[in-house]
Amino acid sequence: MAFYKLTYNEKYRFATLHNYGCTFKCPICSYKLYSGAEGIPGKVFPAPARFLSVDEMKAALESVDIDKVNFMGGEPSIAKELPEMLEFVKNKLSVRTFLGHTNGSGIPIKNLDGANVGLKAWDEKVHLEYTGRNKKGIFENFARALESGMELKANVVYIPGLVDLDQVEAIAEWISKLGRNIPFHIMGYIPVPGQPYDRPTEKQMKMAESICRKHLENVGSSHLCSEDAKRLSKKDDRFQVKIIAGEL
């Protein structure tokens, strides 16, 4: 797919390129909560009115003071302009390049410094049902990206009844064999309309953190409700951005 929007956070000196489309089909995708696509099977975001040209993206990035460019999705590694934009950001602007959210299907990538990888499930069958893709290639990509020198963070969505504590712990344990200091973030599931799962309780979230801390040094969590997810900029000034190219 392609990038349709470029945003800028002046305080934290980063820009973010937003891609349309994903290689996975997660029914519980939280993007649906603020895209108007709730309850539409296989649909994450309505298609944007237009996509950005490479020249537009480069000109907008050159107009701001930044230390880092994030690439987001859907799944940003499927944007056809990604290799050219990574080369430009890394070698012409000389700033850091990072996939702010990726499902891990496209890493490692040349000129990419790091990524925050969502590992979906430990159980093969659950992974396939949840995402439409096999688990093996994704976990192998994570290990290969780490070995290539990329800075990796991992996260998992804790969904009682689908991705239970045993799977969250198994993922943390697997990561610990690659490095006990790899940052690991547990996100409490934010209910998506039409899906049968409940949000974890505070007690369940605490339990998940404490279990993962047996394996990893750097474990964090978030436990947002759907209203919080729609108003992230009110809770966290990293989400207070202005659009510098694309849809206004």
Stretch that binds ligand SF4, among 68-76, 87-95, 222-230, 232-240 (CB under 6 A): 68-76
Binning the chain into helix, strand and coil, the percentages to the nearest 5 are: 35, 25, 45
SS3 226: helix
* Cβ closest to ligand SF4, residue 97 vs residue 131: 131
Burial class (CB in 10 A: 0-12, 13-18, 19+), 207: middle
Q: Which contacts of 34-39 are long-range, i.e. CB under 8 A and separated by 24 or more positions?
A: 34/229, 34/230, 38/192, 38/193, 38/194, 39/192, 39/193, 39/194
Among 26, 117, 172, 212, binds ligand SF4 (CB under 6 A): 26
> Which string of DSSP letters, residue by residue, matches 64-79?
S--SEEEEESS-GGG-
**With respect to ligand SF4, which residue has the nearer C-beta, 97 or 155?**
155
Q: Which position among 22, 115, 117, 186 is part of the footprint of ligand SF4 (CB under 6 A)?
A: 22
One character per residue 92-131, x = contact with ligand SF4 (rule: CB under 6 A): -----------x--------------x-------------
Residue 184 within binding range of ligand SF4, rule CB under 6 A: no
CA-wise closest residue to 45 among 59, 53, 35, 54:
35
Of the candidate residues 5, 60, 75, 141, the single one contacting ligand SF4 (CB under 6 A): 75
The interface region with ligand SF4, picked from 21-29, 190-198, 218-226, 233-241 by CB under 6 A, is 21-29
Interaction of residue 24 with ligand SF4, rule CB under 6 A = yes
Residue placing its CB nearer to ligand SF4 in the complex, 78 or 95:
78
Nearest to 68 by CA among 2, 16, 5: 16
- Residue 189 binds ligand SF4 (CB under 6 A): no
Rule CB under 6 A: which residues touch ligand SF4?
A: 22, 24, 26, 29, 31, 44, 73-75, 103, 118
